[in-house]
């Protein structure tokens, strides 16, 4: 399962219907937050993400992207959390993140780490990577990509048995790509295992002007979540404030050839009626949607026709 829940889709300040930036990503029982604007913890309750969050990736330390850390950590403490939590932020911003963690008299009773990330830094997990990439928002803002490793092709146990491979550890070794010897014969993985299936790719730009680095990392992504603060009539303001227009986001998504585009960081002017943004983005990328608080997107595994094991 790979599910994205938009917790906050407003730019800079909340509106009645939209909270400030945060995106929850649930993957195989793991919960990650990308940005954590003020009030994120309440959005997690409203939209049922649970609180089992292990990592918070901050794109930058503008207040609308990280002030929620203070309250969220207090709530986790009241829930008797014991597991550590890891916060990640661009180079040079750890001190500000620590201020948010330590604000108030209570001490956080579980382990908190804050790691600074350089652009292009990779956080490797068992079967996916989180890649920080540079964006254009002044200072050292980062975007993040969740990139799954290719999945093993499907294993055909009947075929393996027919070839005389005894059920047990040899099955696992073949599945992982190792040739094994059975009664003096070599059995190779391609006899019993399909080709690897591509992993999924999810890209979150954070606040940014359109950036080549975003196009590069979003190539073929299943979902791109991009800054679309303004419509075209405020293109100049977008340029001056380090944000994108909806049309720019649409053009970038088309250039990258992504499957889906969700627009976020919506200026208060469009909070109640984001249709102008959607229209402008769709002129470049059909199917673009302006995200709303509570919107969920499930990212399916890519069709596994090439993952079928040999018959």
Residues acting as catalytic residues: 64
Q: How many residues bind Zn ion (CB under 5 A)?
A: 3
Nearest approach, Cβ of residue 59 and Zn ion (Å): 8
How is residue 11 annotated by DSSP?
S
Using CA atoms, how far residue 98 sits from 23, 107, 234, in Å, is 21, 12, 35
By the 8 A CB rule, do 84 and 91 touch? no
Q: Which is nearer to Zn ion, 55 or 64 (CB)?
A: 64
Nearest approach, Cβ of residue 89 and Zn ion (Å): 13
How is residue 307 annotated by DSSP?
G
The strand pair at 142-148 and 85-90 is best described as unpaired
Which residues, 145 to 184, sit near Zn ion by CB under 5 A?
none
Which residues, 202 to 221, sit near Zn ion by CB under 5 A?
207
Q: Which is nearer to Zn ion, 5 or 267 (CB)?
A: 267
Nearest approach, Cβ of residue 309 and Zn ion (Å): 47
By the 8 A CB rule, do 182 and 165 touch? yes
Q: Which is nearer to Zn ion, 62 or 247 (CB)?
A: 62
Mark residue 289 as left, alpha or beta (left: phi above 0; alpha: psi -120 to 50; beta: remaining): beta
Give the per-residue contact string, 91-130, with Zn ion (x = CB under 5 A; - = no). Answer: ----------------------------------------
Using CA atoms, how far residue 54 sits from 26, 83, 94, 147, 204, in Å, is 11, 8, 18, 17, 18
Backbone phi, then psi, for 192, in 5-degree steps?
A: -130, -5
Q: Which is nearer to Zn ion, 9 or 70 (CB)?
A: 9
Nearest approach, Cβ of residue 36 and Zn ion (Å): 12
Give the per-residue contact string, 50-79, with Zn ion (x = CB under 5 A; - = no). Answer: ------------x-x---------------
Q: In the numeric block, which tokens belong to residue 112?
A: 């908190």
Residues engaged in binding Zn ion (CB under 5 A): 62, 64, 207
């Amino acid at each position: 399962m790979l599910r994205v829940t938009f917790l906050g889709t407003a730019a800079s300040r909340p509106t009645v219907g939209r909270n400030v930036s945060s995106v929850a990503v649930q993957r195989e029982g793991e919960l990650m937050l990308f940005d954590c604007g003020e009030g994120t913890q309440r959005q997690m309750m409203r939209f049922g993400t649970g609180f089992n969050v292990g990592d918070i990736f901050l794109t930058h330390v503008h207040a609308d992207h990280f002030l929620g850390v203070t309250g969220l950590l207090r709530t986790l403490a009241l829930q008797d959390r014991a597991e550590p939590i890891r916060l990640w932020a661009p180079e040079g911003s750890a001190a500000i993140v620590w201020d948010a963690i330590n604000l108030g008299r209570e001490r956080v009773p579980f382990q908190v780490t804050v790691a600074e990330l350089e652009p292009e830094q990779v956080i490797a997990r068992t079967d996916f990577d989180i890649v920080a990439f540079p964006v254009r928002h002044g200072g050292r803002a980062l975007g993040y990509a969740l990139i799954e490793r290719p999945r093993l092709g499907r294993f055909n146990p009947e075929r393996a048995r027919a070839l005389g491979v005894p059920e047990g550890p040899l099955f696992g070794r073949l599945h992982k790509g190792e040739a094994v010897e059975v009664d003096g014969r070599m059995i190779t993985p391609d006899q019993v295992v399909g080709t690897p299936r591509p992993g999924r790719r999810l890209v979150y730009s954070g606040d940014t002007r359109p950036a080549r680095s975003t196009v590069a990392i979003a190539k073929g992504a299943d979902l791109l979540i991009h800054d679309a603060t303004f419509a075209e009539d405020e293109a100049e303001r977008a340029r001056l404030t380090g944000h994108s227009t909806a049309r720019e986001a649409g053009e970038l998504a088309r250039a990258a050839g992504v499957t889906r585009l969700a627009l976020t960081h919506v200026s208060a002017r469009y909070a109640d009626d984001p249709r102008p943004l959607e229209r402008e983005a769709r002129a470049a990328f059909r199917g673009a949607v302006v995200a709303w608080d509570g919107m969920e997107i499930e990212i399916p595994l890519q069709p596994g026709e090439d993952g079928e094991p040999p018959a």
